[in-house]
Amino acid sequence: MIAPGKDEPVRIETVVVPDPGPGEAVVRVQACGVCHTDLHYKQGGINDEFPFLLGHEAAGVVEAVGAGVTDVEPGDFVILNWRAVCGKCRACLRGRPWYCFDTHNAQQKMTLASTGQELSPALGIGAFAEKTLVAAGQCTKVDPRVAPEVAGLLGCGVMAGIGAAINTGNVGRGDSVAVIGCGGVGDAAIAGSQLAGAATIIAVDIDDRKLETARSMGATHTVNSRENDPVEAIRELTGGFGADVVIEAVGRPETYRQAFYARDLAGTVVLVGVPTPEMKLELPLLDVFGRGGSLKSSWYGDCLPSRDFPMLVDLHLQGRLDLGAFVTETIQLDEVEKAFERMHHGDVLRSVVVL
Ligand code: APR
Ligand code: ZN
Ligand code: ZN
């Protein structure tokens, strides 16, 4: 599936996938979620470049591996992540692998069969396709009993949300947590907070449909921030203090501000929502200084795929984490354009292409 040009509908094309070179793997894709980042890329290109290969929330079976690959082998069921991390650099060793200095994707390029043009895959994956070429380190083997459409979601949005709570926010037993913005990422942060034993989980959104879903994900309280001041509501629900951890999953100045003021003194704010380059937020420095605590941003849920993917799949298989709740619908490859429409209208948590 390629994005041919700015705002043009996506299109199915024949793509040549090279045999895996050293350190690479070819994966037969079984499922791939439709994510906002695909939509952003479709609208603006990858670094303004078109055409490119779409799709990056994927799971499938390793078909072939290149020289020197030992961690996965043909037949393994794997979840793909955006780029292989080295595990050795300063960032990796300090437990923040997502800031690794030496991440990489596959070296070889996939090409358009009709013209031979090289195609960059979205986030180094390009998985709205029957198969794709990745760096072997982008493949994490997990228990094959998990449904592919569920597993694939861990490759991006759901991991970002769960990781924001358990890795970045360090939500602990008995904590109060507020999550602002309850799309797929916010709901995953709610599920992650529940998993971590939070006592109070307050979901904030402007859409009542989203608040209803948030409740089924584990929210104990909901606040419609069109009708109520969310900062006051969160304070009221936490004995007048504010939440121990506030997770922002929208990416707008007003919700960043709400997150900042809704946390308890010395609490933690975790920023997962991605703002646009022109967005700015002005805060009184005395509030920044006086409220203490920490402001953290969470890239990809600060996940270490080899640690987190198998753990979350196991929790799902044990019935302790309902990852299936994130799959609103499964669709065919030729329905991706429609799925973007539905996403745009806020109708779905995730549409997942099954192949
Ligand atoms: N206050 C509260 N909630 C809001 C507001 C607001 N001002 N504006 C929008 N929302 C809600 C929407 O109603 C929706 O439920 O935020 C949610 C956003 O969800 P999605 O659009 O489904 O996005 P999602 O995939 O969850 O990603 C959220 O995280 O990783 C980032 O790039 C991603 O910035 C995006 C954010
Ligand atoms: Zn994504
Ligand atoms: Zn590294």
Q: What is the pLDDT of residues 276-311, one digit of tens each?
A: 999 999 999 999 999 899 999 999 999 999 999 999
Residues with CB under 6 A from ligand 1: 36, 157, 160, 180-186, 204-207, 210, 225, 249-252, 254-255, 272-274, 346
The list of the chain residues with pLDDT below 50 reads none
The pLDDT score that the predictor gives to residue 86 is: 87
Q: How far, in Å, is the centroid of ligand 3 from the Cα of 32?
A: 26
Q: Which CATH class is domain 161-298?
A: alpha beta
Looking at ligand 1, which residue's alpha carbon is closest to its atom 21? 183
For the CA of 270, the nearest ligand: 1
Atom number of ligand 1 nearest to Cα 349: 22
Domain boundaries, the chain: 2-155+322-354, 161-298
Atom number of ligand 1 nearest to Cα 251: 34
The pLDDT score that the predictor gives to residue 94 is: 87
What is the phi/psi pair of residue 309, to 5°? Answer: -60, -50
Q: How far apart are CA 353 and CA 59, in angstroms?
A: 11
Q: How many other C-beta atoms are found inside a 10 Å radius of the C-beta of residue 328? A: 17
- Contacts of 255-260 spanning 24+ positions with Cβ under 8 A: 255/180, 255/181, 256/281, 257/281, 257/283, 258/180, 258/204, 258/225, 258/230, 258/231, 259/178, 259/180, 260/287, 260/291, 260/295
The pLDDT score that the predictor gives to residue 55 is: 97
Q: How far, in Å, is the centroid of ligand 1 from the Cα of 11?
A: 27
Which CATH entry fits the domain spanning 2-155+322-354: 3.30.70.20, 3.30.365.10, 3.90.180.10, 3.40.50.300?
A: 3.90.180.10
